[in-house]
Structure 1
Amino acid sequence: MTDTKNSAPAEALDNIILLSADSLRFDRIGATRNGEPLTPRIDELAENSLEFQPGVAPGPSTRDTIPSMLTGKYPSEFDEYGLPAPGSEPLTIAEELSNRGFATAALSHNNFTSRRYNIDRGFDFFDDVSPEARKENNRGAWRLYVRNLIEDTPLMNLAGQANNLAMEYLGRSLYLRNEAAENITDRALEWMDGTNDKRFLWVHYMDTHHPYLSPKRIQKKFGRTYSKKHIKQLSQKTRSAQEQITDEDIPEMEYVYDCTVRYVDEQIGRIIDKLREDGELEHSMIVVTGDHGEGFGEFGKFGHADELWDTMIAVPLIVHHPDRPSTNVNGQAPLRLLRETIVDGSGLFDITEKGADYVYTEVPNYRDDIQGVRGQEYKLIARNDDQITTRLANVEEEIPIEEVPDMEYEQLEKELTRDFEPIQVAADVDQREFREDLAALGYLEE
């Protein structure tokens, strides 16, 4: 009989479920709005789980976190965004579990989680935004065809201008085509119904990513509803007209964002209910997390910028294991340890007492060159020759370096120093394809 208390989840359990939400801030878990909880289903799961305060993403964007989360490597351990060829080192969580007899599936409609970047390594079923998946599921393949026809022609510039006008006056985008959480959960549940083997399921929800769309029934829970047009117009300001954001806009942005948090929470609850109804919950590990945070004007930043403030890197990290400790850890934990936790049974399970003393974060050197170390009380950020120190309290605040105790500052500097020998990724993505992915996510100005 397998010792489930001490064995790795990969050996002891029948189901490993990874549920991540794009741009999900740590401070939204357990929060309320107008007396209504934002995350009642996640809160319920957390009561019988290992929960860190907070989880720390390896960087401030999807491109930083996803390869790191799946392989346990730092973002700068790859020479560009993406993963090496399938089967090569480092193996992903999906490859490790597939080798152990798990059926594997992933569903995500973030363009930077697509098979174009080899994120599909190890997955039997991979539902992404690639042309192949769109044709298989009849999801807007015609848009890709039209885009390919006009790319690198004057018509593409006109299309970009038309998209900005459509967002400003109509609240509609020619590019953004992410499916709602309800639809992606439906397909995840359908896959679970058709699979009798041990299962690894990863669902990455995009609803908490701008433009923060949620059903009216969710918005009504908090007392106010907004049209899609208004919500998308708010979102467009954060992409291309931040100087136009008013003091009145920010509370509305946070409101519609919070509604998406509740919407994703509801869909996560459906997957938990499925496991419970099938009698599988007691044989399942469930991880709930985010890939990075989101800014609402803190430090002058909106959305997810290339910065290492906690608003950008502090995420939920909840690990439910039927036979491991259930505790609220008053300490941080790097999301990078997830692969080690699942495959080896160590990682996060080794820091359940007080979390990690220090967590390294970065904007990788192939994109910028920013490093940060988050301690238990202070953070050190280095950008080129400049250093910034902050105090980690209820609200992170920048402080003079002299206010950091000498021994703590020395340790932070020591932890900041990293030498990477980057692995060459196999993804062959040209600048046109990369621009398409940025445009599809609403970053038309980059």
Structure 2
Amino acid sequence: MLATIRNLLLSALVLALGLGTLDGILETAGLTANDDVLWAIVIDRVELWFFLGLALSTIWHVVFRGLHGRLGEDGASRLATLLTFGPAFALVALRINARLLPGKWEPSSLAANALLLVVGTGLFFALAAWFPKPHFKTRFGASAAALALILLATGLVGTHEIAHARERSTQPDILVILLDVLRADHLGCYGYDRPTSPNIDALAKDSIVFDSLIASSSYTKTSVASIFTGLNPQHHGVYTGTDGGGTGEVLSDVLQSRFITIAEALQGPGKMNTAAWVENGHVRDYLGYAQGFSFYADQPGDAKTIADEYGAWADQWTDLTRSFTYLHILDLHGPYDPPVPYLGRFGDPRPMEEELRGLTWTKFKNQVNGHRITLSEEDYARLEARYDESLLWVDHCVGGIIDGLKRRGTYDNTLILVIADHGEGFGEHDFLAHSKTPYGELVRVPLIVKMPGSAGAGRRVGEMVSHIDIAPTLLDFVGVPAPKEWDGRSFLPLLESADATMAPRTLISEYRGTIGLRTEDWLFISNPWKGERLYALRSDPEEQMNCIDAHPDVAATFREEVEAIREEKKGFRNEQVELDSETIESLEALGYL
């Protein structure tokens, strides 16, 4: 009897130190937290596997004794081992696949699973040969019992550390939801008359809403680079995503590693777990956008996939450490293809292929903007209705994300930002979709900020802020100094006080060579191929009347600023990589190629 107990303890201890440690390492893979928290998680897993091993060892002995008379010692041992420890090893192998390996048919995954099969087979025969040996020395049993007591004690310490980790994690999380191509004036909370955004509008009631967030570009790559780095486009140098230079290659600018991103800054002194789910192929990992993220899933599927995957991740980690999460949702992007339940909610549900004259979205958009296809007001209205239906679907998915926060009990303690990379045009300036120009429909995007505890809920902020201000504000919120080289400035004072103001300044929006300079009063556009335009925003908020001839002094001042920006760009060295086939295919579907 004593020998059996000793054997059970020793086998449980071996499983705990082996599979338990491995399971703990897998559990903490990709997690950024204090070292004591990480060790606590590993110890917790080792303790769990000790008791699991004790149960499995007991079952093994019962099965072995029951079959010993029929199958003999070797046969009973192997069958008992297969029925008990086989599933345990398979569970760990599945976790290795889920946490560490790429797709199941990838060469690295096939090689790793072949190795796991070899290791598992070896362990099977080793355990089967080892378990029936009845002659363990007493000192082994005594050592196993002592180690088991130590393991139990350290497990209690680990549980204590995890409890303290949960206490530390009561500091606010940060969640940034970027809705690609969302123009502010199509949301109910910005005065839109269609019910496109019931969930976002509900969030806005708990939030502070900014009337004028100006995008740094009407192009995703450039604007997201500014959001991540707090830098104007001429300083981070990310402009192109489709320039082959006549070589046949499809090249893309890279967000260079020498720039400090918001994720890197928060992952350092702030000790926040950083994660991102990104649909847009322009902000892939290998293009430099994953810098500082412990977990970065690019092109995970659609808005619902992002909501579901983020929810599963948050269920696992939000109790253990503060998190900074970035969700980039693309479903609103052309060719405006909402799921069937949303199709036809605001207009004609006829097939989009018919709307596009049988062309792909890329060809249709390019022919419209190249004036080879002329769209009537009714044509634009139908496209806009389809865009609104897509927005209603995206809003539904955002609602699922918010509901998940409330279900987990983290909504009140999370700083939430809803933003966009740029807007979308529907003929306001004889243009469909986005990029090319810095007009208001393309660069005036939403900024909805839900503070912890919904502080300041219902307040509107009229001051203009920029994409470059988002990263400094988030660092200011967690008490981390912003890098000195960042161009943006924190608007946290505007969030904390209704009486706060920001000094006026000129905001930059740039798409490749076209530069837009915007103040509260003016919009100046400099296009190397189409010349210059000036709009007086107080009297012409729709930006329809070029008044450059009437205000030569104003134009001259802006012209000097443009020349200074172009001079800065001359000394900048862009890094480029060739896009992979998967990214090219996704960008073609979106109309970028």
When normalised by structure 1's length, the TM-score is: 0.76
Q: 2:427 aligns with which of 294, 297, 310?
A: 297
Distance 1:274 1:356, change over 3 A: farther
Summarize the Cα distance change of 1:225–1:338 in structure 2 as closer, same or farther, 3 Å threshold: same
Matched, 1:200 2:324: yes
Q: Distance in 1 between matches of 2:171 and 2:561?
A: 35
Aligned to 1:396: 543
Counterparts of residues 141-220 of structure 1 (less than 5 Å): 179-196=301-318, 197-220=321-344
Aligned twin of 1:145: none
> Which residue is 1:344 aligned to?
476
* Preserved CA contact (<8 Å) 1:288 1:316: yes
- The counterpart of 1:335, out of the listed 467, 473, 477, is 467
SS at match of 1:225: coil
Of 271, 288, 295, which aligns to 2:401?
271
Q: Is residue 203 of structure 2 the alignment partner of residue 45 of structure 1?
A: yes
Structure 1 residues 256 and 33: CA distance shift in structure 2, 3 A: farther
Partner of 1:58: helix, strand, or coil?
coil
Greater CA deviation, 112-121 or 183-192?
183-192
2:591 is aligned, of 432, 437, 442, to 442
Q: Tell me by how many angstroms 1:287 deviates.
A: 0.6
> CA-to-partner distance for each residue in 1:17-54, whole Å, 9 max, x for gaps?
11011111121122799964111222222223222212
The alpha-carbon distance between structure 1 residues 64 and 79, as it changes in their structure 2 partners (threshold 3 A), is closer
Query: Is residue 358 of structure 2 the alignment partner of residue 251 of structure 1?
Result: no
SS of 2:317's equivalent in the other structure is coil
* Paired AA for residue 112 in structure 1: H
Aligned twin of 1:310: 440
1:227 to 351, 355, 363: 351
Q: 1:191 to 1:355 in 2, by over 3 A?
A: same
Letter in 2 for 1:119: Y
* Identical amino acids, percent of aligned pairs: 27
Distance 1:329 1:104 in 2: 29
Q: Secondary structure at the match of 2:273?
A: strand
Q: Over aligned residues, Cα RMSD in angstroms? A: 3.2
Return the offset for 1:116: 2.0
Partner SS for 1:319: strand
* Aligned residue number for residue 51 of structure 2: none
Mapped to 2, the partners of 1:280 and 1:308 lie a distance apart of 37
Point out the more displaced range, 72-81 or 263-272. 72-81
Aligned residue among 487, 493, 507 for 1:360: 507
Matched residue, 1:376: 520
Give 1:93's match in structure 2, choosing from 262, 276, 286: 262
Q: Distance in 1 between matches of 2:503 and 2:201?
A: 23
Distance verdict in 2 for CA 1:374–1:238, change over 3 Å: farther
Give the superposition deviation at 1:82.
2.3
Match for residue 568 of structure 2?
Answer: 420
Q: Count residues in correspondence.
A: 380
Match of 2:365 in 1: 239
Q: Indicate how the Cα distance of structure 1 residues 308 and 379 shifts in structure 2: closer, same or farther if over 3 A, else same.
A: same
CA distance in 2, matches of 1:272, 1:434: 30
SS of structure 1 residue aligned to 2:397: helix
2:216 equivalent to 1:58: yes
Which amino acid in 2 is paired with 1:244?
I
How many angstroms apart in 1 are the aligned matches of 2:343 and 2:189? Answer: 16
Structure 2: which amino acid aligns with 1:21?
Answer: L
Q: Does 1:320 align with 2:490?
A: no
Output the CA distance in 2 between the equivalents of 1:198 and 1:303: 37
Structure number with greater CO (CA < 8 Å, separation at least 6) is: 1
The 1:226/1:193 distance shift into structure 2, 3 A limit, reads: farther
Structure 1 residue 360: Cα displacement: 2.4
Query: CA separation in 1, counterparts of 2:212 and 2:235?
Result: 24
Larger radius of gyration between Structure 1 and Structure 2: 2
Cα deviation, 1:222-253, whole Å, max 9, x if unaligned, reads 36534354466584554342122431321111
CA distance in 1, matches of 2:170, 2:525: 40
CA deviation digits over 1:373-404, x for unaligned, max 9? 11112211122393210133442223312445
Separation in 2 of the partners of 1:387 and 1:43? Answer: 38
Q: Specify whether residues 349 and 12 from structure 1 end up closer, same or farther in structure 2 by C-alpha distance, changes over 3 A only.
A: farther
The alpha-carbon distance between structure 1 residues 383 and 405, as it changes in their structure 2 partners (threshold 3 A), is: closer
CA distance in 2, matches of 1:442, 1:331: 34
User: Which one-letter code corresponds to 1:331 in the other structure?
Assistant: E
Q: Match for 2:314: what amino acid?
A: M
Q: 1:296, 1:302 within 8 Å by CA — same for their partners in 2?
A: yes
Question: Which one of 155, 173, 182 corresponds to residue 24 of structure 1?
Answer: 182
Greater fraction strand: 1
The answer to whether residue 234 in structure 2 is matched with residue 112 in structure 1 is no
Partner of 1:155 in structure 2? none
Aligned partners of 1:15 and 1:199 also within 8 Å:
yes
Query: Residues 245 and 253 of structure 1: is their aligned pair in 2 closer, same or farther, counting only changes over 3 Å?
Result: farther
Corresponding residue number in structure 1 for 2:578: 429
Shift of 1:58: 0.4
Cα contact 2:188–2:194 (8 A) shared by 1: no
Q: Deviations over 1:62-85 (max 9, x none)?
A: 011011100101122134432123
Question: For 1:430 and 1:236, how far apart are their aligned partners in 2?
Answer: 18
Q: How much does 1:120 deviate? A: 1.0
What amino acid is aligned across from residue 259 of structure 1 in structure 2?
E
> CA separation in 2, counterparts of 1:69 and 1:124?
18
Question: Any unmatched runs of 5+ in structure 2?
Answer: 1-168, 239-252, 478-488
Pair 1:104–1:34, CA change in 2 (3 A): closer
User: Is 2:347–2:382's contact at 8 Å kept on the other side of the alignment?
Assistant: no
TM-superposed CA distance for 1:436, in Å, is 5.4
Residue 106 of structure 1 aligns with an amino acid whose one-letter code is A
Verify the 8 A CA contact 2:210 2:462 in the aligned structure 1: yes
Task: Provide closer, same or farther for how the CA distance between residues 321 and 398 of structure 1 changes in structure 2, counting only shifts above 3 A.
Answer: same
Instruction: Name which of 76, 81, 85 aligns with 2:234.
Output: 76
Q: For 1:318, what is the secondary structure of its paired residue?
A: strand
Distance 1:300 1:355, change over 3 A: farther
Separation in 1 of the partners of 2:573 and 2:534? 33
- 1:36, 1:298 → 2: CA distance? 19
SS of 2:463's equivalent in the other structure is: coil
Task: Give me the whole-angstrom Cα distance separating, in 2, the residues matched to 1:13 and 1:426.
Answer: 38
Q: Is the 8 A contact 2:335 2:590 kept in 1?
A: no
Once residues 109 and 185 of structure 1 are traced to their aligned partners in structure 2, the CA distance between those partners, rounded to angstroms, is 12
What do residues 324-378 of structure 1 show as CA deviations (whole Å, max 9, x unaligned)? 54421123210111100001236122456566633422435xxx32222111122
Which one-letter code corresponds to 1:14 in the other structure? P
Using the alignment, how far apart are the partners of 1:339 and 1:12 within structure 2?
Answer: 22
Report the Cα offset of residue 288 of structure 1: 0.5
